[in-house]
Amino acid sequence: MTSNPYMENLKSYRDSLAIDYMPAVKAMAAKLKERLPSSVDFNDLVSIGYEELVKLSHRYDPRKNDNFWGYAQKRIYGAMLDFLRSLDTVSRGDRKLIKQVDKIVEEYLSEYNVEPTDEEIAELLEIDVEKVKKARTAGDIYSVMPIEDQLKYFENISKKIEEEELIDIIKNILKKLSEKEQLIIQLYYFEELSLKEIAQILGVTESRVSQIHKKVIQKIRKKLNG
Quick one: 78 and 103 in the same domain? no
Quick one: 160 and 65 in the same domain? no
φ, ψ dihedrals at 191, nearest 5°: -95, -10
Quick one: 214 and 107 in the same domain? yes
Q: What are the pLDDT digits (tens) for 28-47?
A: 999 999 989 888 999 999 99
Q: What is the mean pLDDT of residues 61-86?
A: 88
Quick one: 157 and 78 in the same domain? no
Q: What residues contact 151, with CB distance under 8 A and at least 6 apart? A: 157, 166, 170, 220, 221, 224
Domain boundary pick from 86, 117, 133 = 86
Of the two residues 108 and 150, the one the predictor is more confident about is: 108
- pLDDT given for residue 89 in this prediction: 64
Q: What are the pLDDT digits (tens) for 112-166?
A: 878 899 999 999 999 999 999 988 888 888 888 888 777 776 666 655 566 677 7
Domain boundary pick from 38, 60, 86 = 86
Q: How many angstroms separate the CA atoms of 43 and 70, rounded? A: 24
Quick one: 104 and 208 in the same domain? yes
Q: Look at the chain and report how many structural domains it folds into.
A: 2
Is residue 110 predicted with pLDDT exceeding 90? no
> Domain of 193?
92-225
Quick one: 78 and 100 in the same domain? no
Quick one: 96 and 207 in the same domain? yes
Which has the minimum average pLDDT: 72-81, 88-97, 124-133? 88-97
Quick one: 51 and 163 in the same domain? no
Mean pLDDT for the chain?
Answer: 84
Domain boundary pick from 69, 86, 103 = 86
Instruction: Determine if the pTM surpasses 0.85.
Output: no
Reduced to 3 states (helix: H, G, I; strand: E, B; else coil), residue 129 is helix
- pLDDT given for residue 208 in this prediction: 83
Going by C-alpha positions, the residue among 80, 63, 74 that lies closest to residue 14 is: 63
- pLDDT given for residue 53 in this prediction: 95
- pLDDT given for residue 179 in this prediction: 92
Which has the minimum average pLDDT: 89-93, 117-121, 196-200? 89-93
Quick one: 151 and 53 in the same domain? no
Which has the minimum average pLDDT: 2-6, 130-134, 147-151, 200-204? 2-6
Q: Report the CATH number that the domain containing residue 160 is assigned in CATH.
A: 1.10.10.10
Quick one: 10 and 66 in the same domain? yes
pLDDT-based confidence at 22, cuts 50/70/90? very high
Q: How many angstroms separate the CA atoms of 21 and 69, rounded? A: 8
Going by C-alpha positions, the residue among 63, 141, 135 that lies closest to residue 99 is: 135
Helix (H) or strand (E) holding 207: helix 206-225
Q: Report the CATH number that the domain containing residue 74 is assigned in CATH.
A: 1.10.1740.10
Going by C-alpha positions, the residue among 158, 128, 168, 159 that lies closest to residue 226 is: 158
